[in-house]
Structure 1
């Protein structure tokens, strides 16, 4: 799971990042509100953990801006501001959960895991398109340049995840969780094998690649730049 932690207290940031890494997650840490919003909008994260008191932009404004932009990434507020009115304000701003400092890391980890398990909001999209690649979500058909591409069910799901994250990097861990429902690293090349098969079907016959490998990070699907 990939987590963005926006926190300007270095000791708290180091403690949480270390604990999340030990639990098998990838944690990016930022200390500035505006920088945090920029990355939350540009990158794909499973959960955001956000302090309320931040430089440049406070946590409430950050989350309000995130929701206004249509991003539905689950948000856990982690803050020393813990009154009832403060909690209500945080949830009404678009937060999904609220944890007050000081806190036990085990509780934070449990809350983050619970947020990640929530089903995504129901989308009314019936089709996805990137350049000349089109996916019909109702008929479960994929076409590129007018040519239909036959995909196995797992390949279809893999491509759907990539297309829904057009232009963003999708990590191997994210793919294992979203396509195979693995919440651990099986130490196999299952992702790499399926990506190779997918690339052979959607890229090689058409000349212009849409699927790109981001070395040591993951994969990204986007139109030629």
Structure 2
């Protein structure tokens, strides 16, 4: 092979290798772009879901949340909040009690109540600020609890009375006894009994939230 031919072969080989490297680089760039886009899309979906929930909470659970409160609710949902074991246990009991009621299954109840607790109290207090009447991690007002017991009594059936059997008196079920309590007594019970607070909060959620 003469020098001219050898040089030509070498040039071709180098060009082929350079082309291969460029192709590989473009492939890696395209792959990274796809991954980045997918992650961004996932973040957008998460953000959109949290914003929708913040608005649902503002419209139906809080009832009168302004834009600042909705933004704060969204920020809480986007944060890395911690749910104490006590609250998790209470939410699970409520999911058992109200599973299937008003079109809400147990998993949806768990998810919604976990988020509501974070928004309402960040799981750091059971007493409403500024001496407000609401109690529990989910900030239930005793007047709301009493109204639910009297006006939505069908929700507080056998499973509720099974879980809260300690409140039954004689032949009267727990729900019947609780319905006769004063708002002051209910306020104390909701603050001290996390399970009861979660139950009333869940009853409020399923009767106000859109499925």
Question: Fold conserved (TM > 0.5)?
Answer: no
Rg larger for: 2
TM bucket (normalised to shorter chain) is under 0.3
Q: Choose between structure 1 and 2 for higher RCO, CA contacts under 8 A separated by at least 6 residues.
A: 2
Structure number with higher strand proportion? 1
Structure number with higher helix proportion? 2
